Amino acid sequence: MSGEGVQTPLERMIRRHIAHSGGLSVADYMELCLSHPEHGYYTTRQPFGAAGDFITAPEASQMFGELLGAWAAACWQGMGGPARLHLVELGPGRGMLMQDLLRAAKSWPDFFRALRVHMVEISPHLRAAQKERLEGAGVHVRWHERLPGREDLGGEGPVMVMANEFLDALPVHHYERVAEGWRERLVVVGEDGRLAFAPVGEAPRAVPAWARDLPVGSVIELSPERAAMARDIARLVAARGGVALVIDYGHVRPAAGETLQALHRHERVEVFHRPGMSDITAHVDFAALGEAFRAAGLAVVRPLEQGAFLLLLGLEQRLRALLARADTAQAARLLRGAERIAGADQMGRLFKVLCAHSADMPTPEPFTP
């Protein structure tokens, strides 16, 4: 709803911008809604958990972070067990993944001692929540507002970058096929006074080969912002040696169609619903991500579905071990969590896991072909 009187401060700002410039790209709209320093969703809200707007895998089950901890330890062994490993998490939310990962990592004391943790977070609220959660974790943790460069990590040692539900929050552009070719879709004010999309922007610099023959009316999502982030991650991993693990919802093959969605209190809402007060995301194009990693010199393995990945890491065994000492309420929570993170109709198939690594280390299990 975008009527007068119920507009959020951000919507008023967006409307002024549209009046001045004629329209706003979907990417700019998304970025303003999520990251505006005063009114953005992540800057102002605490979106996680049952009382928030969505539940991510680490929020749904402690086993997610624990299994990633075991995976990280095995990976470190594959690197030859270096004395230092810089573990960089992008967009760590409330810090649940890192907390669970570090608890599991204590089972490998040399690995745990090697860890230097770097949290990359734009939201001051979430940074504070992460600090509180990781206090007393027993490792050295530093916070960064953006992905650190090779020199910013300090000291020696390879790097391990993890990003769970991070790239889906980086902006996408929409292009629509019209009779004359491709046009960027802009956010405009429609004739009824509401915010709306219109294909009135510029053509894209390049149309990907897979989209060239799409019919009029088709929409594609392109994200130079995500490609740039992938390039930066890859450069860091290539320069220091190491591995990147990206987990997100998305597709393995590029395809036409719009996946932009807004969530408010666990319900899907229209993307123009109360700008700045709902979470806006779009699926990750894992083919484009893999290409960006490969172009920067990393080895990239075909993505696994999250459910298959977690089962290969030992989800069932971990669940059985936890159930053996759980009371009835805890057991129900554990079973619900496992279903949520790995169930085929929940996160298990929609979410994909992509691993990319430097040439000087073996492909980590369970990605080996």
Ligand X SMILES: C[S@@+](CC[C@H](N)C(=O)[O-])C[C@H]1O[C@@H](n2cnc3c(N)ncnc32)[C@H](O)[C@@H]1O
Task: Give the count of beta carbons closer than 10 Å to the beta carbon of residue 213.
Answer: 8
357: enclosing H helix or E strand:
strand 351-357
Q: 243 or 341: whose CB is closer to ligand X? A: 341
Residue type, 367: F
Q: How far is CA 188 from CA 12, 16, 195, 260, 283, in A?
A: 13, 11, 6, 17, 23
Contacting ligand X within 125-154 (CB under 6 A): 126
Choosing from 13, 18, 74, 122, the residue that interacts with ligand X (CB under 6 A) is 122
Choosing from 53, 59, 176, 305, the residue that interacts with ligand X (CB under 6 A) is 59
Please state, in angstroms and rounded to a whole number, the distance separating the CA atoms of residues 263 and 259.
Answer: 13
Choosing from 11, 66, 100, 121, the residue that interacts with ligand X (CB under 6 A) is 121
Q: Kindly tell me the number of DSSP H helices and DSSP E strands found in the chain.
A: 14, 18
Report how far apart the first and last C-alpha atoms of the chain are (Å, whole number): 49
| DSSP codes of every residue in 239-269 | HH-EEEEEEEEEESS--SS---EEEETTEEE
Q: 2 or 99: whose CB is closer to ligand X? A: 99
281: enclosing H helix or E strand:
strand 279-281
Choosing from 23, 65, 91, 337, the residue that interacts with ligand X (CB under 6 A) is 91
DSSP-derived pairing of the beta strands 284-285 and 267-269: unpaired
Choosing from 23, 65, 93, 250, the residue that interacts with ligand X (CB under 6 A) is 93
Among residues 336, 351, 353, 323, the alpha carbon closest in space to that of 61 is found at 336
Smallest gap from Cβ 53 to ligand X, in A, equals: 9
* 42 touches ligand X (CB under 6 A): yes
Please state, in angstroms and rounded to a whole number, the distance separating the CA atoms of residues 126 and 118.
Answer: 14
Smallest gap from Cβ 42 to ligand X, in A, equals: 4
Smallest gap from Cβ 92 to ligand X, in A, equals: 5
* 119 touches ligand X (CB under 6 A): no
Among residues 298, 280, 279, 295, the alpha carbon closest in space to that of 354 is found at 298
Smallest gap from Cβ 199 to ligand X, in A, equals: 27
* 249 touches ligand X (CB under 6 A): no
251 φ/ψ angles, rounded to the nearest 5 degrees: -120, 150
Q: 148 or 366: whose CB is closer to ligand X? A: 148
* 120 touches ligand X (CB under 6 A): yes
Smallest gap from Cβ 36 to ligand X, in A, equals: 12
Q: How far is CA 343 from the centre of its chain?
A: 20
Helix axes 286-295, 224-240, angle to 10 degrees: 40
Contacting ligand X within 154-173 (CB under 6 A): 164-166, 169
Smallest gap from Cβ 229 to ligand X, in A, equals: 8
Q: 93 or 275: whose CB is closer to ligand X? A: 93
Is-contact 27 223, C-beta < 8 A?
yes
Q: 182 or 286: whose CB is closer to ligand X? A: 286
- Span of 85-93, 267-275, 336-344, 360-368 interacting with ligand X by CB under 6 A: 85-93
Quote the tokens at residue 147: 């992905």
Smallest gap from Cβ 279 to ligand X, in A, equals: 7
Smallest gap from Cβ 87 to ligand X, in A, equals: 14
Contacting ligand X within 2-41 (CB under 6 A): 35
Q: 59 or 66: whose CB is closer to ligand X? A: 59
Choosing from 11, 15, 40, 56, the residue that interacts with ligand X (CB under 6 A) is 56
Quote the tokens at residue 329: 């309420």
| Residue least distant from ligand X (Cβ) | 91
Binding site for ligand X (CB under 6 A): 35, 42, 56, 58-59, 91-93, 96-97, 120-123, 126, 164-166, 169
